[in-house]
Chains A and B, each alone.
Chain A
Amino acid sequence: MESRLSSILLAAALLSGCSWFHRGDKSRAPVPVTAEEAQTDPSIIEPQVTRRVVKTPKIKAKDFEVGAYFGALSIQDFGTNPVYGVRAAYHVTEDFFLESYAARSKAGLSSLENVFPNITVISNSGRYFTYYDLNVGYNILPGEIFLGRGHAFNSALYATAGIGAVKFANQDNFAINFGVGYRVTITDWLAMHLDVRNHVFESNLFGVNKNVDNVEAILSLTTYF
């Protein structure tokens, strides 16, 4: 009797257990497939994955350098005067760069005008000394400078030479220029320059044709980009 009761209980437990395990199968009830559906149903499973577009970031090139400068320009026969300008360079290789300058200064009085105040060699508007240059530069002595124990800055002594124009006494003149400069790269994007350059052109302001030397010493601050 006892074994019969236990077998009934066991059967009941088994049935409830099986129904428990199969509780999720209701949705899987077989759906009759019509003939039309069977034809259109793709046999290949289409993956629902979108292709990931991998974009490699570009390495930024900082070969261009632009900046502004001021300094002193000695205009032959017209004294030394402040000069303000802008410069732009493109570093082509580690040795060579192309550079362009444009600047303006205003000449003072010539010695002739100082001695004879009634004489005017050039008018007031003609006293502006404006120039532009197209140059090639070469880093002669690259190096490093040290500030105390903890700081080192890259530097270079370079030479530049080129051609350009000088407008002085309301006349445009073909000019050549040459000079040396010293560049200190303060940060990756900022540099300081000290340059001494000579602009030579032919002038006949005082009645005879002669080559005039116009030497400038300038301090520049430039940025790389």
Chain B
Amino acid sequence: MRPLLALVLLLQTLLVDPALAATQPLVQLVVTAPYVEMHSGPGRGYPVVYVVGRDEMLTVLFSRTDWYKVRAARGEEGWARRADLATTLLPSGEPAPIPPYPDFLTHRWEVGAGYGVYNHENLVTAYADYGITDSIDIEAVVQQAFGTLDNRTIATIGLRHTFVPEWKWISPTAGIGTGYQRISATVPPAPLESSNQMAYASLGARGFITRRFMWRADWRHYVVFNNQNVNEVLEEWKVGLAVFF
């Protein structure tokens, strides 16, 4: 019963339209092209339901992916294509404030996830990455490895260097970093240590897929600092898909 109550409470909070609470004024644009088409939905297949002519005003309500929900002067609402809206002007004559696509060469943020193999075990990985420069990034990774003897949760932070960032489709990378792993045994006996600090060195590559997506591949060599005479050495490789901002 408790989850149901929580769901009802969540729905109640959701049912207050956040747009109503917003006090920020909406962007008004003047059409300079012969016309701008308004579709019934945010997709290429949705039919055109209204057309705004040259010198007429448009109010932009919000955007979703490459589509902008707009309202014509007479109150009709529809979805305009990003490329069409980019030709419009503000009433002051300045270009419409359509943010440009993130540039792959100079992008700052990456968020991604992927699959890998860590010490011969299945690995689920997720990461966030901030570029200090075009070629040096700070990278934070959280991942979980599922083994036959134990499961490991790994969190690392490190620096990654992209050798030739202007190579768009494939560019080699290398990195170093440190982190922790937590070990829980799936079968007895319990592991000697439940958590260890680790350090890693990595080699990899990254590349552009589309305007928003990129791919990543990494091989990592870990040294696990334990209480035994010899440090444990592990290997990991992984591939992932990321979105850049």
B-contacting residues of A (Cβ < 8 Å)? 54, 56-63, 67-68, 70, 84, 90-94, 96, 98, 134, 136, 139, 142-144, 152, 154, 163-165, 171-174, 187-190, 221, 223-225
Contacts and interface: CB of A to CB of B under 8 A. Distances in A.
A70 B4 contact: yes
B126 A134 contact: yes
Nearest to A60: B62
Given A62-B62, A68-B10, A172-B144, A94 B26 contact: no
Given A134-B126, A172-B144, 11 more contacts: A57-B24, A59-B68, A61-B64, A70-B3, A92-B243, A93-B65, A93-B66, A94-B42, A94-B44, A154-B40, A221-B14
B217 interface: no
18 contacts: A58-B24, A60-B63, A62-B64, A68-B7, A84-B4, A92-B65, A92-B243, A93-B210, A134-B124, A142-B43, A142-B45, A142-B46, A154-B46, A171-B151, A172-B146, A173-B146, A174-B122, A190-B15
User: Which of A59, A62, A63, A139 neighbours the largest number of chain B CB atoms within 10 Å of its CB?
Assistant: A59
A144 B40 contact: yes
Nearest to A62: B62
Contacts of B94: 56
B22 to A, nearest CB: 7
Nearest to B113: A134
A59 B64 contact: no
Contacts of B43: 94, 139, 142
Contacts of A92: 65, 212-213, 243
Given A59-B97, A70-B4, A144 B63 contact: no
B114 to A, nearest CB: 8
Question: For the complex, would chain A's binding face be called helix, strand, loop or mixed by DSSP majority?
Answer: strand
Contacts of A171: 151, 186
Contact of B63 (A62, A136, A152, A190): A62
Nearest to A164: B124
Contacts of A164: 124
B22 A63 contact: no
Interface string B50-76: 000000000011111111110000000
B174 interface: no
A60 B146 contact: no
B100 interface: no
Contacts of A144: 40-41, 46
B18 A225 contact: yes
Contacts, number: 117
A59 B62 contact: yes
A58 B126 CA distance: 31
Nearest to B123: A174
The 7 lowest CB-CB distance pairs between A and B, nearest first, are: A174-B122, A174-B146, A154-B41, A84-B3, A134-B113, A60-B62, A172-B151
A166 B122 CA distance: 13
A59 B98 contact: yes
Given A56-B27, A154-B42, A172-B151, A93 B212 contact: yes
Nearest to B7: A68
B19 interface: yes
Nearest to A133: B124
Contacts of A136: 241
B27 A59 contact: yes
User: Which of B65, B92, B184 neighbours the largest number of chain A CB atoms within 10 Å of its CB?
Assistant: B65
B109 interface: no
A56 B97 contact: yes
B122 A190 contact: no
B90 interface: yes
Interface string B109-120: 000010100000
A139 B144 CA distance: 29
Contacts of A142: 41, 43, 45-46
A108 to B, nearest CB: 17
Nearest to A152: B40
B243 A56 contact: no
